[in-house]
A = this chain, B = another copy of it.
Amino acid sequence: MSANRLSSAKRIPARAKLIDAAHLLVRRQGYCATSVDEICAAAGVTKGAFFHHFASKEALGAAAAEQWTARAEELIFTLPPWVRIEDPLERLLAHIDFRLFMIDGAPEDFTCFVGTMVQESFASSEVLRSASDASISAYCERLAVDIEAAIALYGIRDGVSAISLAYHVQAVLQGAFIIAKARNALKEARESVLHLKRYIKMLFNRVDTQ
Smallest CB gap from A120: residue in B: B30
Say whether, besides A133-B182, A167-B192, A168-B195, A108 and B123 are in contact (CB < 8 Å): yes
Interchain CB contact under 8 A, A192 and B171: yes
Interchain CB contact under 8 A, A120 and B119: yes
Task: Choose among B115, B119, B195 the residue that contacts A199 (Cβ–Cβ < 8 A).
Answer: B195
Contacts of A115 in B (CB 8 A): 119, 178, 182
Looking at chain A, what size class is its interface with the partner chain? 35 or more
Interchain CB contact under 8 A, B168 and A171: no
| A114, B179: Cα distance in complex, Å | 11
Task: Choose among B29, B114, B173, B178 the residue that contacts A123 (Cβ–Cβ < 8 A).
Answer: B29
Smallest CB gap from A118: residue in B: B182
Say if the beta carbon of A55 comes within 8 Å of chain B: no
| A195, B121: Cα distance in complex, Å | 27
| A170, B164: Cα distance in complex, Å | 19
Interchain CB contact under 8 A, A178 and B174: yes
Task: Choose among B108, B118, B178 the residue that contacts A118 (Cβ–Cβ < 8 A).
Answer: B178
Interchain CB contact under 8 A, B188 and A164: yes
A-B contact pairs, 13 of them (CB 8 A): A33-B124, A115-B119, A118-B178, A120-B120, A132-B182, A133-B182, A137-B183, A171-B188, A171-B189, A172-B175, A174-B175, A174-B179, A198-B199
